[in-house]
A and B are shown apart, each in its own frame.
Chain A
Amino acid sequence: MIELTINGKAHRVDADPATPLLYVLRDELQMNGAKFGCGLGQCGACTVMIDGEAHFSCMTPVASVRGRPIKTVEGLGTADNPGPLQRAFIEEQAAQCGYCIAGVMMRAQALLEKNPAASEAEIRAGLSPNLCRCGTHARIVRAVRRAGAAMQRADADRQTRGAAQ
């Protein structure tokens, strides 16, 4: 049994330790966010966050992430109550086919958690390991910037409230 912490929740899975995390997420835990795109770490459709960093889950043996915090797009919110990044992607209508989107979002989330004020150039460079084939790049970058701004506002609100107390 391998113990995993995904989106703050503990899971125990029975899987061969060499199994890539991607298949544990999809097969064992029935999660849809991370996608199989290449299995080679070339496209980023499988991207998830591990210890706050973006990783290719198709190349990450499940045994190597035992106990480390894993975050997937399911951890950012729900369709009824979308998180800031999800909300920004909906507001910008930043998808066409959308197969790459969950992976792109997790790389963006890792970037924004470090630097919500990331510039457009920093976002473009940061997202470059991920591929999008539909040509939605410009909308995606706008959505990430929008989410960054929302996160900054939320931080500022928290600080103001903190100072008032």
Chain B
Amino acid sequence: MNPPLSIDISRRGLLAGGGALVVSFSMFGISEGIAQTVPQPGAAVPDNAMLDSWIRIDAQGVVTVYTGRTEFGQGVKTAMIQLAAEELNLDPQGVKIVSCDTALTPNEGYTSGSRAMADGGVSVRAAAAHLREILLNAAAPKLGADASELRLEQGRVVAPGGKSVGFGELVADDVMHVKLNRQARLKDPKSYSVVGKEFARVDIPAKVTGGVAFLQDLRLPGMVHARVVRPPSYEARLRSVDTAQVEKLPGVLKVVRDGSYLAVIAQKEFQAITAMRALAAAAQWEEQAKLTDYSRLYEFLQTTPSDKVNVLDTKTTPAPGARVIEATYRRPYQMHGSIGPSCGVGWFQDGKLTVWAHNQGAYPLRQAVSELVKLPEDQIRCIHMEGPGCYGHNAADDAGADAALLAMAFPGRPVRVQWMREDEHAWEPYGSAMVTKARVSLDDTGGIVDWHYDVWSMAHSTRPGGARSMAAAWYREQPLTLPPPRVPSGSESDGNRNSKPAYKLPSARVIHHHVKEMPLRVSALRSLGAYMNVFSIESLMDELAAAAGADPVEFRLRYLEDARAKDVVKMTAERFGWNTDKLPKGRGRGFAYARYRNSSSYVAVAIEVAVEPSTGAVRVPRVVSVADSGQAVSPDGIRNQIEGGILQSISWTLYEQVGFDQTRVTSRDWGSYPILRFSDMPESIEVHVIDRPGQPMLGAGEASQGPAAAAIANAIAQATGARLRDLPLTRDKVKAAMGV
């Protein structure tokens, strides 16, 4: 089992950082009125180069961290507080945090790619260390001591004799408004007492007690509710709609029509939903069967013109292998599938627009909104509030854009818009369908002599595309169109992420075929191409191990050079009790390893499956995983992310596939797009974290999905003798492969 958490809420109390909302409410004066919701002329604009854009101390000595990174349940706020508290020798309970607001925080782009700690955390830590230097230097003359003799203790700078001065007395605004020194001396990780320790997450209490925890819970004075009638399919155009009857419905304030963009604003939420349904019934759409050509999706991917990206070429002319193993793997479109449909709130007042969104970056959203509503950026403020888990680029950006457009159409009052379930399923940008093909030559001892790997994929990122990447913009009277995707570089980006094998090979070539066409809307789904590439490579490694007559774990170790990689592999095998003992009929063990992005967290996963022979249904009774994310700021946060990634991957791998017919997406609810349920969860899942004090912090959010997927396929192969290469590994496919 996992090590028990030593969180005793009565004794330890809770960190104060959950007050981000409280802070923002009081700072913006939302409860007092609307005057302060948009920055006043002359207010300081956050500047990433300046110390006080990242951290400040008020006159009472309270430290507030400002981060451009967004919390979405990965625990990033808590970890940032820990980093700052550590450098300042503070009790983290007293440290506040404000995150992602164009008026208040630095611009850190999107919180994506598992970079929140690796980049954002490094900045916060540097700022806190710089602030410590400032405090020491300011205190030295006051305490009549040399700065090197002073220490920080409970919010005070203390001299050897015990004389002390509080943080709040040492800093005025101008002292902190200096260029951030990123080279300030950091504390020795050996002396850490906060980083690496378990603290209760600041965002959880509100989530379990009905507090204001999500943007969906934001209620502004005079707020009204909107719903958008999304077209039935991508190519649909609104031919006609009679809005007269809808305008008479109770509570309806306005029907908004702009070309094929159709929405309704009402006093109350359910009135807006009722009116939206009436409007949808009244709308006449013209649709086109534009998806017909993509019914043979995998063929399309491999035959349509694409851009070729050379990811790796260490090709030599090896002696011809004694054996050649070839395999093709396929992955359908899969969705983010947030449990909460996306939401946005917009407020246009006195020529200024405020947009609250739960997307991954307030600054890129502001730029897009500026293009969309034709207001200069300095008249727009975007504020991130937490939302339901997004797992990448889902519809949260679109809902922010909807809120902006509808607020402009209904000035003076805050407009809240939430998507319906059908819209979230049908309109979010999916993780791209992919095909991978491997051709590996082995010598007569089973050693790999040559490796050739191709990956075909549509784009995994259609951001930032400004207003043109927003669903609303495509249907207005003056429509915008999604720009063609950028051709990715070969360095772990987009569809080629983790296409480079983690193993030392004598001769290898990896080619990414980047398909520009996008029949279904696509963008970044957690881990981008890594999920599929790791699924493919790690399935293949088992196929090669079998051909070599080797144990899969031992075979991997032969080709791994990085000591940290070997550590997670060995420890996973050991904790799982990896062996060759025969399992009961229908049971199998599977193993897989990857280092996310080949430069981030190391993760190995061992899985036991149970296959029901009569139905082909796969259960996952037991999972063991070990992760090395470098310096572990919040070990429990890493465990939670790794474990969540594994369970989400079990869902993707066994069940998920976006359906579409000739015209429309057909996965429009949880019935037509089933996901993992409590009844399907593993009976046991263990995650161990190897802490590496002093090593760079590595992100954990996207590291376990690929290994989990391959470990399942490898375990099914052991249990049934059937190798499944087409995701998802549904019971029908398992049954067919078993020949029953």
Contacts and interface: CB of A to CB of B under 8 A. Distances in A.
Asked if A and B are interacting partners, one says yes
Interface in A92-132: 92-93, 95-102, 105, 120, 123-125, 127-128, 130-132
A138 B685 contact: yes
Interface band, chain A: 35 or more
Contacts of A96: 73-74, 389, 640-641, 644
B9 A91 contact: yes
A87 B216 contact: no
B73 A82 contact: no
Interface stretch (B111-119, B201-209, B401-409, B453-461): B201-209
Interface stretch (B164-172, B257-265, B533-541, B670-678): B670-678
Interface in B208-254: 208-214, 216-217, 219, 250
User: Which secondary structure dominates chain A's binding surface?
Assistant: loop
B55 interface: no
Contacts of B209: 33, 73-74, 76-79, 82, 86
Interface in A59-89: 72-74, 76-79, 82, 86-87, 89
Most chain A CB atoms below 10 A, which of B208, B217, B388, B671 = B208
B628 interface: no
A37 B640 contact: no
B73 A138 contact: no
Nearest to A121: B683
Interface in B653-694: 669-671, 675-679, 681-683, 685
Contacts of A99: 214, 216, 338-340, 387-389
A33 B212 CA distance: 9
Interface in B162-219: 200-201, 203-214, 216-217, 219
For chain B, give the interface size range: 35 or more
B640 A136 contact: yes
B73 A134 contact: yes
Given A82-B205, A93-B201, A131-B339, A125 B679 contact: yes
Nearest to A35: B340
A56 interface: no
B268 A27 contact: yes
Most buried by B among A91, A97, A99, A127: A97
**Which residue among B250, B268, B337 has the maximum number of chain A CB atoms within 10 Å of its CB?**
B268
13 contacts: A16-B250, A16-B270, A43-B670, A45-B340, A74-B210, A79-B205, A90-B205, A92-B5, A95-B73, A97-B387, A128-B678, A133-B339, A138-B682
B636 A32 contact: no
A40 interface: yes
A134 B406 CA distance: 31
Contact of A124 (B204, B670, B678): B678
B645 interface: yes
B648 A32 contact: no
Contacts of B646: 135
Given A23-B269, A136-B644, A90 B200 contact: yes
A116 B206 CA distance: 25
Contacts of A32: 210-214, 217
Interface in B681-717: 681-683, 685
B420 A39 contact: yes
Contacts of A140: 678
B62 interface: no
B208 A73 contact: yes
